[in-house]
Amino acid sequence: MFGDDETIVYAVVLNQEEQYSIWPHERDVPAGWSQTGMVGTKAECLEHIEKIWVDMRPRSLRDWLSGEVSS
């Protein structure tokens, strides 16, 4: 859709499951997602996500495995 055009500014977004993605900064963030404050090129945003997203399991799964959610 947007390719690797370095002129597009992206925002790093986060959902309730603490999963990250990138979204074109000039577009409204989809429902269920919020901006994290990181804005940059596609490469910069993906590099940022790679550094901060160390556990890719959804939050609900992490909570369940740690016993924080009742079954």
pLDDT above 80 (res 3): no
- Residue predicted with more confidence, 66 or 32: 32
3-class DSSP assignment, residue 23: strand
Q: What is the pLDDT of residues 43-52, one digit of tens each?
A: 999 999 999 9
- How far apart are alpha carbons 21 and 57 in whole angstroms? 14
Nearest CA among 27, 32, 30, 24 for reference residue 58? 32
**What order do you get walking across the sheet with 20-24 strand by strand?**
20-24, 10-15, 33-40
Confidence label for 56 from pLDDT (cuts 50, 70 and 90): confident
**42, two tokens:** 């596609």
Q: What is the pLDDT of residue 20?
A: 96
- Residue predicted with more confidence, 69 or 18: 18
